[in-house]
Amino acid sequence: MRSREADGGAVPPEDGLASRQWWHTSIIDMRPGVIRYHGYAIQDLIGNIGFAQMAWLMLRGELPSARQGRLLEAALMAAVDHGPQAPSIAIARMAATCGVGLNNAMASAVNVLGDVHGGAGEQAVELYQDVAARVDAGASQEAAVRAGLDAFIELHGKFVPGFGHRFHPLDPRAPRLLQLVDEAAAAGAVPGRYAAIARGIEAELEARKGKPIPMNIDGATAVIYAELGFPAPLARGLFCLSRSVGILAHAWEQSRQGGRNKGPIPRQYIPLYDGPPPREVPER
Ligand X SMILES: CC(C)(COP(=O)(O)OP(=O)(O)OC[C@H]1O[C@@H](n2cnc3c(N)ncnc32)[C@H](O)[C@@H]1OP(=O)(O)O)[C@@H](O)C(=O)NCCC(=O)NCCS
Q: What residues from 140 to 159 belong to the interface with ligand X (CB under 6 A)? A: 158-159
SS3 annotation, the chain: CCCHHHHCCCCCHHHCHHHHHHCCCCCEEEECCEEEECCEEHHHHCCCCCHHHHHHHHHHCCCCCHHHHHHHHHHHHHCCCCCCCCHHHHHHHHHHCCCCCHHHHHHHHHCCCCCCCCCHHHHHHHHHHHHHHHHHCCCCHHHHHHHHHHHHHHHHCCCCCCECCCCCCCCCHHHHHHHHHHHHHHCCCCCCHHHHHHHHHHHHHHHHHCCCCCECHHHHHHHHHHHCCCCHHHHHHHHHHHHHHHHHHHHHHHHHHCCCCCCCCCCCCCCCCCCCCCCCCCCC
Smallest distance, ligand X to C-beta of residue 84, A: 15
Closest separation in Å from C-beta 90 to ligand X: 14
Residue 36 — φ and ψ, nearest 5°? -130, 135
The stretch near ligand X (CB under 6 A) out of 66-74, 115-123, 139-147, 273-281 is 115-123
Measured from each CB, the residue nearest to ligand X is 164
Indicate whether 67 belongs to the interface with ligand X (CB under 6 A). no
Site size toward ligand X, by CB under 6 A: 18
Applying CB under 6 A, the span of 41-49, 95-103, 125-133, 163-171 interacting with ligand X comes to 163-171
Q: In this chain, which of 88, 216, 221, 254 binds ligand X, going by CB under 6 A?
A: 216
122 binds ligand X (CB under 6 A): no
55, 217, 224, 238: which one binds ligand X (CB under 6 A):
217
Stretch that binds ligand X, among 18-26, 104-112, 160-168, 259-267 (CB under 6 A): 160-168
Segment contacting ligand X by CB under 6 A, of 47-55, 56-64, 212-220, 225-233: 212-220
Q: Which of 38, 165, 199, 262 binds ligand X (CB under 6 A)?
A: 165
The reply to whether 244 sits near ligand X by the rule CB under 6 A is no
For the chain, what is the radius of gyration of the CA atoms?
24
User: Which of 64, 69, 162, 237 forms a contact with ligand X (CB under 6 A)?
Assistant: 162
| Contact status: 218 vs ligand X (CB under 6 A) | yes
Contact status: 24 vs ligand X (CB under 6 A) = no
- What is the arrangement of strands in the sheet containing 40-41, beginning at the earlier edge strand? 28-31, 34-37, 40-41
By CB under 6 A, tell whether 227 contacts ligand X.
Answer: no
The reply to whether 177 sits near ligand X by the rule CB under 6 A is no
- Chain residues that interact with ligand X, rule: CB under 6 A: 116-117, 120, 158-166, 205, 209, 213, 216-218
